[in-house]
């Protein structure tokens, strides 16, 4: 039978209605369960919101007692830098996922049909804009409240940042439809501005703290909101320009990210993003190997570092954090901040260790023991993190008031703690569903699921504790000893 | 006496180039496919068969070159292209909670097919998925999934069929049915562009063969 008929475009509402009819009675949740889930969701939201408000109020009360120049500078600059960071983050996430995307099934069964693409994508554009508005406004309200803004300014500032995030979504959607390549550049520029602001704050180069403006918000809010509406209107008009190859990648990325997040496997999230980045790059210039055995692996790490300087740039940019901590007067807590920064910013350097962990067959292909292979893979990134920590040594010395003889060992201990935390993070195994399950609001989950979320952070605290308790060479030695034991276990296990 | 303008080929490709990084996977490719004709792309793995099909079906944007269907540029965003070109690649995904028959019904309705139920029933019968019509796609074997993917091309209107290794994962009877079906499609005046490693299928269906290993 050859089909010859067919209208130029089916009515999407009819299709949706038909799908609803098919799906009726197939729900896998009973009404009682749904009401129970809703009750838990509402109760949890109310509880978390009240906790967040309480934290903001208390922290603000504490912050009000801070009168040093650095502290007041930081409080004055914090909302503005956060607003900029939120817009940059919105652009980054929007560029990563689309911002408009369709699920793989919709991509297979509805996009190839002559249905009205604007009608199909309109709710997705509206939903994305609503999420951006809510997240941007809520975070901006919390941060501006912390910074001592008056109540009306807090609300107005939240509205401005929320609208700016919607504007970012509109710009990203337009860029997606028109295949503009400048979105990444814009995102990086905004991120660089945030970084420059942090550097200026560290160097006390920020002008005298201005009090939060009490008036003049209305024209700003109206302007940003008008721009956001205009950007959304433009994006809406161009929804028909969106082709399948622009909509499908985000949809195929999302299930991987959702699955990784559902398993609280943050390392897997990193894997998904790294794989996508390399697939987009497509080809590289081949470089011949050098050395034999472990030396060949070390050489390959050097090649990898040169091939992917992004990870190095991120780590170098993060050097501002310990200095900022110092200028904010964090004291010895700056050691923990430095170790955490080295941990989080250093993850990208350890990609080959992650690959070897995910594919143990690869290790078996090499004529070296597992410990030797892992050690070779860790050597170059660990050396980079060590250099980074030595670069942060002046900040640590000033922040914690360390003696010069103690500062270098402490910086080394910070580096080794960060490296150990990264190794713990990237060598983690996925949750084991064969283990005993415990009940939770999410259903039955294995106990190792909770460990997944804390992986890396646990070792970070373990290695940092001696540094915080005794910021001396002795503390550094104890920390190094603890890290050494953990590293030996992690790198040496079969 | 006025001269009738020559009918454009069903599919015309000119100067098609697709580059990944520094590598030209397809370079400066020309091809014409008349209505009622079938062209098979053959070649080793990585020769660029699927890339050509993806560019022709506008699933991928070529680095250079043009693709025309019945004289009009192929644009995946236009309803006309989506209505006239049926594509079966290896990347079909499914709604986990819709059955086999519902997938096909949805697709037929989305294409505005009159009497969609009758068309779907006939195609289901033809591809041998009647016993599985109420099954969810997650429970199908890979061969049955392939049959469902092929069925999606036959429940809708089309002028050109683009098939990437349509014989993959089909049993012998399935391949025989496919050959018969594609011959009937040709007889009905449709154009067929396929990529395949099955020499028998190519010999039975294709009027012409383009070996991408031998394209200069």
B92 near A CB under 8 A: yes
| Euclidean distance between CA atoms B133 and A327, whole angstroms | 68
**Is the Cβ of A15 closer than 8 Å to some Cβ of chain B?**
yes
Q: Would you list the DSSP string of A144-173? A: HHHTT--HHHHHHHHHHHHHHHHHHHHHHH
Q: Which two tokens stand for residue B88?
A: 């079966």
The pLDDT score that the predictor gives to residue B192 is 96
Give the integer Cα–Cα distance in Å for B191 and B203.
16
- The verdict on A338 and A430 lying in the same domain is yes
Encoded tokens for A52: 């967040």
pLDDT tens profile B165-185: 999 999 999 999 999 999 999
Q: Check CB contact under 8 Å for A15 and B112.
A: no
Interface residue A181 vs chain B (CB under 8 A): no
> pLDDT at position A322, please?
92
- Within this chain, do residues A306 and A447 fall inside the same structural domain, yes or no? yes
Supply the pLDDT for residue A408: 92
Query: Position of tokens 């603000």?
Result: A60
Amino acid A445: pLDDT: 72
Tell me the C-alpha distance between A92 and A108, whole Å: 27
* Interchain pair B97, A23: CB under 8 A: yes
pLDDT number for residue A9: 60
Q: Is the separation of the CB atoms in A143 and A82 below 8 Å?
A: yes
Residue A211 lies inside a defined structural domain of this protein: yes
**Same domain, residue pair A85 and A222:** yes
Encode chain A (494 residues) as per-residue pLDDT tens digits.
556 555 556 788 888 888 888 888 777 677 788 888 888 888 888 888 888 778 777 777 766 676 777 777 777 888 889 999 999 999 999 988 889 999 889 988 988 888 888 999 999 999 999 999 999 999 999 888 888 888 888 999 999 999 999 999 999 999 999 888 888 899 999 999 999 988 888 877 766 555 566 677 889 999 999 999 999 999 999 999 998 888 888 888 888 888 777 777 777 788 888 888 887 777 778 788 888 888 988 999 999 899 888 999 999 999 999 998 887 777 888 899 999 999 999 998 998 888 888 777 777 777 888 889 899 999 999 999 999 999 999 999 888 788 888 889 999 999 999 999 999 999 887 777 777 777 766 666 777 777 777 889 999 999 999 999 988 899 999 999 999 999 999 998 87
How far apart are the CA of B12 and the nearest CA of chain A, in angstroms? 21
Nearest by CB: A109 against B87, B97, B107 = B107
Structural tokens at position A19? 């799908």
Handedness of CA A83, A87, A88, A94 (dihedral sign): positive
Q: Are residues A79 and A188 in the same domain?
A: yes
Among the listed residues B36, B155, B24, B25, the one whose alpha carbon sits nearest the alpha carbon of residue B88: B155
Q: Give chain B's residues under pLDDT 50.
A: none
Q: Which of A109, A241, A284, A307 to mutate to test the interface with B (most CBs of B within 10 A)?
A: A109
β-bridge partners, B191: B160
Structural domain includes residue A110:
yes
Min Cα distance B199 → chain A (Å) is: 26
One domain for residues A366 and A469: yes
Closest CA of chain A from B67, distance in Å: 16
Angle among Cα B212, B215, B216 to the nearest 5 degrees reads 150
Residues A111 and A60 in one domain: no
Backbone phi, then psi, for A269, in 5-degree steps?
Answer: -60, -45
**Looking at A262, A282, A317, which one is the last position of a domain?**
A262
Q: In this structure, what are the phi and psi dihedrals at residue B91, rounded to the nearest 5 degrees? A: -110, 25
Same domain, A350 and A422: yes
Chain B residues 15-34 within an 8 A CB cutoff of chain A: 20-23
Does A74 lie in the same domain as A192? yes
A73 and A150, same structural domain? yes
Query: What is the structure's pLDDT at A26?
Result: 75
| Residue numbers of the domain that contains A229 | 66-262
Which residues of chain B are within 8 Å of residue A241 when distances are taken between CB atoms? 77
CA torsion A41→A46→A51→A53, rounded to 10°?
130
Q: According to the model, what pLDDT value does residue A83 have? A: 93
A315 shares its domain with A228: no
Q: Which of B110, B190, B186 is nearest to B155 (CA)?
A: B110
pLDDT of residue A1: 55
User: Is A437 a member of any domain?
Assistant: yes
- Contact criterion met (CB below 8 Å) for A445 and A437: yes
DSSP state of A204: T
In CATH terms, the superfamily for domain B11-92+152-211 is P-loop containing nucleotide triphosphate hydrolases (3.40.50.300)
- Give yes or no: residues A71 and A58 share one domain: no
CA proximity to B145, closest of B162, B168, B119: B168
Residue A315's pLDDT is 95
Same domain for A58 and A160?
no
A384 min Cα distance to partner chain B (Å): 29
Of B20, B76, B119, the CB nearest to A1: B119
Give the span between the Cα atoms of A383 and A416, in whole angstroms. Answer: 10
pLDDT at residue A376, as a whole number:
92
Residue B106 to residue A284, Cβ atoms within 8 A? no
ipTM attached to this prediction: 0.84
A276 in a structural domain:
no
Q: What total number of domains does chain A contain?
A: 3
Q: Residues 174-193, chain B: which have Cβ within 8 Å of A?
A: 184-185, 188, 190
Whether A3 is in a domain gets the answer: no
């Amino acid at each position: 039978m050859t089909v010859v008929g067919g209208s130029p475009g089916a009515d999407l509402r009819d299709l949706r209605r038909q799908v609803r009819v098919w799906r009726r009675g197939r729900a896998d949740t009973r009404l009682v369960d749904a009401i129970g889930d809703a009750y838990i969701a509402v109760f949890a939201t109310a509880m978390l919101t009240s906790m967040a408000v309480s934290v903001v109020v208390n922290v603000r009360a504490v912050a009000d007692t801070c009168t040093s120049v650095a502290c007041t500078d930081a409080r004055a600059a914090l909302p503005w830098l956060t607003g900029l960071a939120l817009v940059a983050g919105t652009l980054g996430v929007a560029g990563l996922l689309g911002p408009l995307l369709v699920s793989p099934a919709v991509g297979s069964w509805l996009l190839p049909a002559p249905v009205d693409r604007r009608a199909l994508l309109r709710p997705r554009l509206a939903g994305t804009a609503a999420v951006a508005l809510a997240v941007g406004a809520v975070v901006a309200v919390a941060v501006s409240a912390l910074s001592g803004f008056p109540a009306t300014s807090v609300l107005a500032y939240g509205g401005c940042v929320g609208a700016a995030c919607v504007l970012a979504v509109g710009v990203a959607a337009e860029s997606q439809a028109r295949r503009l390549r400048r979105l990444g550049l814009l995102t990086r520029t905004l991120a660089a501005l945030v970084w420059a602001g942090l550097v200026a704050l560290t160097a006390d180069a920020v002008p005298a703290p201005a009090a939060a403006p009490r008036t003049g918000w209305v024209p700003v809010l109206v302007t940003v909101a008008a721009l956001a509406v205009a950007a959304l209107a433009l994006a809406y008009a161009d929804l028909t320009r969106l082709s399948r190859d622009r909509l499908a990648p985000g949809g195929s990325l999302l299930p991987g990210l959702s699955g990784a997040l559902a398993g609280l496997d943050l390392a897997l999230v990193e894997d998904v993003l790294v794989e996508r980045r390399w697939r987009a790059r497509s080809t590289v210039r081949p470089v011949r190997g050098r050395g034999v055995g472990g030396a060949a692996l070390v050489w390959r790490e050097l090649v990898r570092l040169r091939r992917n300087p992004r990870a190095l740039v991120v780590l170098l940019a993060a050097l501002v954090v310990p200095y900022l901590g110092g200028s904010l007067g964090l004291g010895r807590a700056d050691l923990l901040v430095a170790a955490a920064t080295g941990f989080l910013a250093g993850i990208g350097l350890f990609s080959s260790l992650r690959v070897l962990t995910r594919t143990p067959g690869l290790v078996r292909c090499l004529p070296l023991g597992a410990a030797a292979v892992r050690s070779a893979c860790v050597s170059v990134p660990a050396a980079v993190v060590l250099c980074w920590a030595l670069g942060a040594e002046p900040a640590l010395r000033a922040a914690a008031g360390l003696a010069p003889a103690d500062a270098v060992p402490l910086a080394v201990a910070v580096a080794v703690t960060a490296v150990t935390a990264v190794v713990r993070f990237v060598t983690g195994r996925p949750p084991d569903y064969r283990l005993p399950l415990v009940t939770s609001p999410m259903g039955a989950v294995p106990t190792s699921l909770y460990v997944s979320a804390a992986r890396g952070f646990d070792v970070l605290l373990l290695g940092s504790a001696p540094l915080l308790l005794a910021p001396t060479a002795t503390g550094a030695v104890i920390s190094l000893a603890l890290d050494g034991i953990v590293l030996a276990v992690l790198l040496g296990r079969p | 006496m006025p001269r009738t303008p020559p009918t454009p080929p069903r599919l015309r490709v000119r100067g098609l180039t697709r580059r990944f990084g520094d590598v030209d996977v397809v370079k400066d490719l020309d091809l014409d496919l008349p209505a009622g004709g079938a062209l098979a792309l053959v070649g080793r793995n990585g020769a660029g068969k699927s890339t050509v099909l993806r560019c022709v079906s506008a699933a991928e944007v070529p680095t250079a070159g043009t693709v025309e269907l019945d004289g009009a540029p192929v644009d995946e965003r236009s309803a006309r292209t989506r209505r006239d070109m049926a594509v079966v690649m290896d990347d079909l995904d499914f709604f986990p909670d819709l059955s086999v028959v519902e997938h096909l019904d949805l697709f037929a309705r989305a294409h505005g097919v009159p009497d969609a139920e009758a068309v779907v029933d006939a195609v289901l019968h033809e591809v041998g998925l009647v016993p599985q019509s109420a099954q969810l796609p997650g429970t199908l074997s890979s061969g049955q999934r392939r049959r469902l993917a092929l069925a999606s091309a036959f429940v809708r209107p089309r002028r050109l069929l683009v098939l990437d290794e349509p014989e993959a994962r089909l049993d012998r009877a399935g391949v025989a049915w496919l050959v018969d079906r594609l011959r009937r499609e040709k007889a009905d005046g449709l154009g067929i562009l396929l990529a395949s490693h099955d020499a028998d299928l190519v010999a039975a269906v294709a009027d012409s063969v383009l070996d991408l290993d031998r394209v200069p």
